[in-house]
Amino acid sequence: MVCGSCSKASGSLKCSRCKMMTYCNRECQAAHWHTHKIHCKRVEMSPQKLQLHFTVGRSGPPITFHENIPAAFCQRDAPRDLTSRWVSQLVDTHEEEVLVRHPGRPCLYCGKPAIKLHTTLAITLHGNPPTVFAMGQPLCTKNRNDGCAVQAQATIDQGLQSPDFPGRGTEIYKA
Ligand SMILES: [Zn+2]
Ligand SMILES: [Zn+2]
Ligand SMILES: [Zn+2]
């Protein structure tokens, strides 16, 4: 997980109070506390479940997950750094399962076996119910700079302009 202070991908220490923010170590945590303390609260869960709709490739019905979501994230003024981080982690935890449920999916661009989903998220957490659309493209690479990943990003940028895009009118996060 990404450190909330220095942004390195080595943040495995969780803030013990909110269980949302992650850090490399105590030093990074201490350095970020001045900013983080404004949003850091004990977590209260919303009575509503988050619906996570996960689609893979260009078509097919979504796989839907129902998840507990902190009540604070369902507010319109929810702090975006926390919500986007939380949603990205949630989607990451389901990515593998989604890949497994699409066995033998080839990379959309070269046809080699897919090892990764390139995911784009459209999010309305203050909706009723709170909703996330995750659009995953099967890819042969985990490296964003590889040809297939670059094409995937171009497809996403086009898709976001399309009238068929399911999350139109929502907030878009590139995960
Ligand atoms: Zn750090
Ligand atoms: Zn915290
Ligand atoms: Zn490929």
pLDDT at 165: 63
Q: Tell how far the Cα of 24 is from the centroid of ligand 1, in angstroms.
A: 4
- Please give the pLDDT value at position 175: 46
Share of the chain above pLDDT 90, in %: 32
Distance 74 CA to ligand 2 centre (A): 18
By the 10 Å C-beta count (0-12 exposed, 13-18 middle, 19+ buried), 13 is classed as: middle
- Look at residues 45, 35, 125 and name the one whose alpha carbon lies nearest to residue 77: 125
Which region among 50-54, 60-64, 69-73 has the lowest average model confidence (pLDDT)? 60-64
Q: For the chain, give the percent of residues with pLDDT over 70.
A: 90
User: Distance between CA atoms of 107 and 117, rounded to whole angstroms?
Assistant: 9
pLDDT tens-digit profile of 107-153? 999 999 888 888 888 888 988 899 998 988 899 999 989 999 999 98
Q: Give the C-alpha separation, 80 to 131, whole Å.
A: 15
Q: How far is the CA of 67 from the centre of ligand 2 (A)?
A: 21
Tell me which ligand sits closest to the C-alpha of residue 147: 3
pLDDT at 168 over 70: no
CA dihedral 26, 43, 119, 133 (to 10 degrees): -170
83, pLDDT greater than 80: yes
Q: Assign 3-state DSSP to the chain and report helix, strand, coil percentages, each to 5.
A: 30, 25, 45
* Longest alpha-carbon distance in the chain: 48
Per the model's pLDDT, the better-predicted residue between 99 and 48 turns out to be: 48
